Structure 1
Amino acid sequence: MRNLIADIRDAIPFDTPIEKLCNGPCTGCSKKLLDYLDMQLEEKEAEIGAGHIPSFGELNRLKKSALKIHATLVKKGLIEPE
């Protein structure tokens, strides 16, 4: 889980300025998506810190959310396609 969280934090530009996030059509609000994902990551980090061992399902759900948000950010031009 820690590796997954680190990979997500490396791949997603959480520090993108608001001016860049909120330009053009507002479909799939990038700011809200980044806030949501950051909140999820912080919750998972706190759970791990408290000794919780995540299940495969939890890992899969977090990965799936991150991939969907990544795809939206690529579509909006905030991340370069891989």
Structure 2
Amino acid sequence: MKPSTPDAMASLINDIRGAIPFGFSEAELCSGTCKGCSKKLLEFLDQELSDWSMRLNVGDKPNLGDIHRLAKTARKIYTALEKNNLVQASRAVS
């Protein structure tokens, strides 16, 4: 049986938090040349994940488009982090 959309969103949030390291210091994020501001991208993604977690806690039900958009955003941010050598190419966000 397929999971409900709130369960799928919660699982996606956990997967993203597990795959993307949010604990970088500013010095680690802002060293060398950048291809996209990793600091701002991580802040944006963290805010999106926090917002969805809060919405799930109050009973909001995401639709499949919401889940797809969050997954797509996370993949794009992960790719930017790869280009800035902050994550390894071997881990992928679902």
**Both proteins in one fold, TM over 0.5:** yes
Segments of 4+ in structure 1 off by > 6 A? none
State the one-letter code of the partner of 1:53.
K
> How high is the sequence identity, in percent, across the aligned residues?
44
Other-structure match for 2:4: none
Structure possessing the higher radius of gyration over alpha carbons: 2
Partner of 1:77: 85
Number of positions where the alignment pairs a residue of Structure 1 with one of Structure 2: 82
- Calculate the TM-score normalised by the size of structure 2: 0.84
Q: CA deviation at 1:17?
A: 1.3
Alpha-carbon RMSD across the aligned residues, in angstroms, is 0.7
Q: 2:34 corresponds to which residue? A: 26
Change (3 A) 1:70 1:34: same
Q: RCO greater where, 1 or 2, for CA within 8 Å and sep 6 or more?
A: 2
- Kindly indicate whether residue 16 of structure 2 is the aligned counterpart of residue 8 of structure 1: yes
Normalised TM-score (structure 1)? 0.96
Structure 2, unmatched stretches of 5+, are: 1-8
1:51 to 55, 59, 62: 59
